[in-house]
Amino acid sequence: EPEVTQTPSHQVTQMGQEVILRCVPISNHLYFYWYRQILGQKVEFLVSFYNNEISEKSEIFDDQFSVERPDGSNFTLKIRSTKLEDSAMYFCASSEFQGSSYEQYFGPGTRLTVT
Amino acid sequence: GQQLNQSPQSMFIQEGEDVSMNCTSSSIFNTWLWYKQDPGEGPVLLIALYKAGELTSNGRLTAQFGITRKDSFLNISASIPSDVGIYFCAGLQGGSEKLVFGKGTKLTVNP
């Protein structure tokens, strides 16, 4: 069964450093998303991406964040200058988002620890 | 606002018991999704609901899309130890791709 994959599973970085989190969405999906989950809290939407551009973003997704689809399979989230409060699980998701299917399928996540 | 109030926050039950949890909002949602999350893993989609009043089953799980479109319920029948985890409701509003999540219901099943 197709699934969303994410790398790395765990990333430790120092405050102020740049990180890139990588995702491979399900191959026939058209919409891609990043969410984050601070330990013990609910999952929060960051950004959605369609047709090579951001289609929707939350107030969390400020100028420190960017997303890119560098090739036909990868989808990345870059944090330019990490802060302690960026420590969280980051989930990539993908969806067909057409017809009657708005189901979003999540990857296993990348645990980002900023020290 | 776009808040989902999920209850209960946690449940401790005996194996074999039925479980019920729900999500409510002051806003209308067009799609309701229920996910299960195991520790350290990503949310796994259990059930998707698209129409007000819809009742959908997936094995021992049954979910309903409330008539007012402001609530949804998830029931688990005859619970087993592997049902342990955190269950999240999530909703989509018209014109938005953003999934709004509830805070989750943590389920513990005692064998």
Find the CB nearest A109 among B42, B45, B104. B42
CB contact under 8 A, B98 and A108: no
Chain B residues with CB-CB distance to A105 below 8 A:
45
The pair phi, psi for residue A9, each rounded to 5°, is: -80, -30
Per-residue pLDDT of chain A (115 residues; tens, 9 = 90+): 789 999 999 999 999 999 999 999 999 898 999 999 999 889 999 999 999 999 999 999 999 999 999 888 899 999 999 999 999 999 999 998 765 568 999 999 999 999 9
Structure-block tokens of residue B83: 């049902």
Share the mean pLDDT of chain B: 94
Share the mean pLDDT of chain A: 93
Bridge-based pairing of strands B105-110 and B10-14 is parallel
- How far apart are the CA of A71 and the nearest CA of chain B, in angstroms? 23
Chain A residues with CB-CB distance to B104 below 8 A:
42
Q: What is the largest CA-CA distance in chain B?
A: 44
